[in-house]
């Protein structure tokens, strides 16, 4: 069954406010696709456009190659799992799961067979006659999944369904959702603001900000080669350092970090940069390692301001001696044991990194006059709005 979803130059406006800027995107049949972004970025609006609850101001939605314009919610081959699940509290588990089949006129016996099978799939055998109000959070979650799957959707839409669960259960449900998706082969479109969920479950992730898709990529690419500063900062943790581009050799870029001295990194995905241009260098905390003060390659010297023990690793907050900026450094188990003596507040340390791990992107922040706080110059984002279509 064809479950691809194609958005053709979709725009969504509410009055003067543009919730979704022109967006084109294709989600493949059978793909686990996530929209990741902070609240208010438009991801839920996009989901509502696919499900049919909202009609886009412009553009077209195709599901399985068929245009969806004029097709109402109850006739679309999609099923939604709501953030609050929206199980029917006055019905039993069976009745909830069978509701969509009842609507379609499936007879009672066949309905019961389907719901039994789905209860087995979500590991809730025997809970059918219970009222949904008697179930725990995780069980309700499973019933919601079974209810949505009962109508055999081509596309399953999930609107932050795990957000109400506690951490352990959430992690467990992630794995379970992924398994269910693989077993059923249905296209999953998953909405979340939790990067952990998006990265662990998805085949591809679209990172959204302010109604715009920033980057569409598989989780690893997203993490290793973010296409915009927003993606670099939103997905995982990162340190941002401003610099000027000296020259580039293939992917490798030499940078003038001003008071920080010479730095280096690699150009981000599909980013065009010119010599002398102002850029931002993103280095993740776990890519920084303590080195000796005279080591080769880029070096950053700072004073330890705080040491956070996080179990598997140690997070250092350091202040760069040269510029006063904060640099966060994450040391793995081995390294933190090796440097155990130095990990005290006030200690001066030098950190280095492999330039292959650091990403250089255009400096997409407006330049602010430090004395007045006013914006001096607004730079356009060069690589930002570029959305590769799959």
Partner 1 sequence: MFRQLRARFGGPLAAAILTLLGIWLIVMVTLPQLQMIDYSLRPNLLPAQVGGPDDRLTLGNYATLFSNDIHRSIFLKTLWSSVLVTVLTLVVSYPLAWYLAKVATPRQAALCILLLIIPFWINEILRTYSWFIILSFRGPLNEVLMMTGLIDRPIRFLSGDGGVMVGMVYAYILFMVFPVYNAIESLDDNQVRAARDLGAGTVRTHRRIVIPHAKPGIATGCIMTFMLAAGSYAVPALLGSPGSRWFTQIIYNWFFEGGNWNQGAAYAFLLLVLCIGFMSLVMKLFKVGLGDIAK
Token output for 353: 């990194």
Query: Which C-beta is closer to partner 1: that of 75 or that of 168?
Result: 75
Over the window 132 to 161, marking each residue x when it contacts partner 1 by CB under 8 A and - when it does not, the resulting string is ---------------xx--x----------
Least Å distance, CB 139 to partner 1, is 17
CB of 137 to partner 1, least distance (A): 16
Among 78, 202, 209, 214, binds partner 1 (CB under 8 A): 78
Closest CA to 34 of 150, 138, 122, 160: 160
Cα 90 to the center of its chain, rounded Å: 35
Residue placing its CB nearer to partner 1 in the complex, 57 or 83: 83
Nearer to partner 1, 79 or 281 (CB): 79
In the sheet with 204-209, reading across from the earlier edge strand, the strands are: 78-81, 155-159, 187-192, 32-36, 204-209, 212-217
| Nearest distance in Å: CB 8, partner 1 | 23
Q: Which of 1, 58, 84, 338 binds partner 1 (CB under 8 A)?
A: 84
Strand 204-209 vs strand 212-217: parallel, antiparallel, or unpaired? Answer: antiparallel
Would you call 333 helix, strand, or coil by DSSP?
Answer: helix
Which one of the spans 81-89, 110-118, 272-280, 338-346 is the region binding partner 1 (CB under 8 A)? Answer: 81-89
- Return the number of the residue (74 or 371) whose C-beta is nearest partner 1: 74
- Near partner 1 in 85-124, by CB under 8 A: 86-88, 90, 99-100, 103-104
Binders of partner 1: how many residues, by CB under 8 A?
23
Taking the CA atoms of 137, 143, 146 and 147 in sequence, report the sign of the dihedral they define: negative
* CB 147, CB 139: distance < 8 Å: no
What b-and-e string marks burial along 29-48, b requiring 16 or more CB atoms within 10 Å of the CB?
bbbbbbbbbeeebbbbbbbb
Residue 82 touching partner 1 (CB under 8 A): yes
Q: Is 147 helix (H, G, I), strand (E, B) or coil?
A: helix
- Whichever of 103 and 120 has its CB closer to partner 1, that residue is 103
Q: How far is the CB of 164 from partner 1 (least distance, A)?
A: 13
Question: 150 φ, ψ to 5°?
Answer: -60, -35
Pick the piece of the chain touching partner 1 (CB under 8 A) from 76-84, 284-292, 334-342, 359-367.
Answer: 76-84
The helix (H) or strand (E) run that includes residue 12 is: strand 5-14
* Given 21, 29, 53, 256, the residue binding partner 1 (CB under 8 A): 53
Residues 329 and 309: their CA atoms lie apart, in Å, by 12
User: Per CB under 8 A, which of residues 174..233 are in contact with partner 1?
Assistant: none
- Binding of partner 1 at residue 74 (CB under 8 A)? yes
Contact between 51 and partner 1 per CB under 8 A: yes
Cα 126 to the center of its chain, rounded Å: 36
Contacts with partner 1 by CB under 8 A lie at: 51, 53, 72-75, 78-80, 82-84, 86-88, 90, 99-100, 103-104, 147-148, 151
């Amino acid at each position: 069954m064809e479950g691809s979803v194609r958005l053709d130059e979709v725009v969504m406006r509410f009055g003067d406010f543009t919730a979704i800027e022109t967006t084109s995107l294709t989600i493949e049949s059978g793909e686990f696709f996530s929209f990741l972004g902070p609240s208010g970025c438009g991801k839920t609006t996009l989901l509502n456009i696919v499900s049919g609850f909202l009609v886009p101001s412009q553009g077209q939605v195709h599901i399985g190659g068929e245009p969806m314009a004029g097709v109402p919610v109850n006739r679309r081959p999609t099923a939604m799992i709501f953030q609050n699940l929206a199980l029917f509290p006055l019905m039993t588990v069976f009745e909830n799961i069978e509701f969509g089949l009842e609507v379609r006129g499936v007879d009672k016996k066949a309905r019961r067979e389907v719901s039994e099978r789905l209860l087995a799939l979500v590991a809730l055998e025997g809970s059918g006659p219970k009222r949904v109000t008697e179930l725990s959070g995780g069980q309700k979650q499973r019933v919601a999944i079974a209810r949505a799957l009962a109508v055999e959707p081509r596309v399953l839409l999930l609107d932050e369904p795990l957000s109400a669960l506690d951490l352990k259960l959430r992690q467990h449900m992630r794995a379970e959702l992924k398994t269910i998706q693989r077993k059923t082969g249905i296209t999953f479109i998953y909405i979340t603001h939790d990067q952990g969920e998006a990265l662990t479950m998805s085949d591809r992730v679209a990172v959204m900000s302010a109604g715009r898709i920033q980057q569409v990529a598989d989780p690893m690419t997203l993490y290793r080669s973010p296409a915009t500063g927003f993606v670099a900062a939103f997905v995982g943790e990162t340190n941002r350092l401003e610099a000027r581009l000296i020259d580039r050799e293939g992917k490798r870029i030499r940078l003038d970090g001003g008071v920080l001295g010479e730095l280096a990194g690699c150009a981000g995905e599909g980013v065009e940069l010119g010599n002398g241009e102002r850029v931002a260098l993103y280095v993740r905390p776990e890519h920084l390692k303590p080195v000796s003060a005279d080591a080769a390659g880029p070096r950053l010297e700072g004073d330890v301001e705080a040491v956070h023990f996080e179990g598997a690793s140690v997070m250092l907050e350091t202040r760069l001696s040269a510029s006063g900026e904060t640099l966060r450094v994450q040391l793995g188990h081995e390294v933190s044991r090796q440097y155990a003596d130095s990990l005290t507040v006030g200690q001066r340390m030098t950190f280095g990194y492999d330039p292959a791990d650091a990403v250089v992107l255009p400096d997409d922040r407006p330049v602010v006059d430090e004395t007045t706080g006013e914006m001096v110059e607004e730079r356009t984002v060069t690589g930002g709005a570029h959305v590769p279509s799959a």
